[in-house]
Amino acid sequence: MRLPLPDWLIYSSVIGVILIASLSRGEKANVPAGEQPPVSENTTELLGPITPFDPTVVVESDNDARPQMGTAFSIADDGRWITARHVVEGCRQPALIIDKNRALAADVRLAAKTDVAMLLTDGGPPALPLAPEEPLYKGQRAFHPGYPQGKAGEVASRLIGRETLKVRGRNNYDEPVLAWAESGRTTGLDGTLSGLSGAPVIDRRGRVLGVTIAESPRRGRIYTTAPSSFVAAVGSHRGREADGLGQVVTTRNYGAVADQLRRDLRVAQVVCLAV
């Protein structure tokens, strides 16, 4: 004769199954990632156009804030680079770090009403390929190679949607941005991503979609320029577009790809020299 199972055992089993299933859905894309199975792309929902009803994020700009370290990337091999405006605004002499003992001084051109700046040097490395204007999809993956906390590092993310960045302080303006959910980062990189500002946002083909400009640590979000703002800021300065880096960037290799971009100085650290 089979005895009926007690209710507490049945309920415990059901709760255990639900808990295991929910935990298994979380994504970990830290590098080095090891031999993890590839994660499928969720690119079924097209990202809509900019609207007045997009969520807003307020950023306070401190008028007395000193220039800080950041990241820049090459857009033309004749010495044109892009970084975030707030990284170099107010800096008398920004420079790109070449190695431990050398830095390359740069002139600055600030974009209007968008957190983008152009750096000009006498020659430079090969440009990163720029993505053509094409539809974006919620859930699509991107990667941010640069210098968070002043050290070599990178972050992986997935596109959430559009928001409006309301900058208040030294300059008051509203800027449409893309919001990304962080899905992974360099192993051992904890805390803020300060220093990643100005880093390129590259897609799976290694093409630049925009510029990394802000983060919301509590929400686990990264904010980047909208494609329209990026294209307007780069304008006629953009180099020749290319198909990509020649390899697919994934959660398994984005650390290695970022390391190569930094070694080639296609992604470089920006500092403010004392003058």
- State residue 267's pLDDT score: 97
**Among the residues of 95-245, which ranges form H helices?**
227-234
pLDDT for 35: 32
Half-sphere exposure of 199 (CA within 13 A, CB side): 33
Measured CA to CA, the distance from residue 33 to residue 79 in angstroms comes to 34
Rounded CA separation 156/141 (Å): 7
Percentage, residues of the chain above pLDDT 90: 48
Indicate if the pLDDT at residue 143 is higher than 80. Answer: yes
- Count other Cβ atoms within 10 Å, centred on residue 114: 24
What predicted TM-score, i.e. pTM, was given to this entire model? 0.79
Give CA–CA dist 45/4, Å, rounded: 48
The pLDDT of residue 127 is 93
The predicted pLDDT at position 105 comes to 93
Query: Please, is 58 exposed, middle or buried when counting C-beta atoms within 10 Å of its C-beta (0-12, 13-18, 19+)?
Result: exposed
Please tell me the predicted confidence (pLDDT) of residue 47.
Answer: 57
CB 190 within 8 A of CB 81: no
pLDDT in tens, 131-141: 888 889 999 99
Pair 115, 213: CB distance under 8 Å: yes
Max intra-chain CA distance, the chain: 90
pLDDT of residue 125: 94
For residue range 206-225, what is the model confidence (pLDDT) as tens digits?
999 999 999 988 888 999 99
**DSSP type of residue 92:** S
Rounded to whole angstroms, the Cα distance separating 79 from 69 reads 19
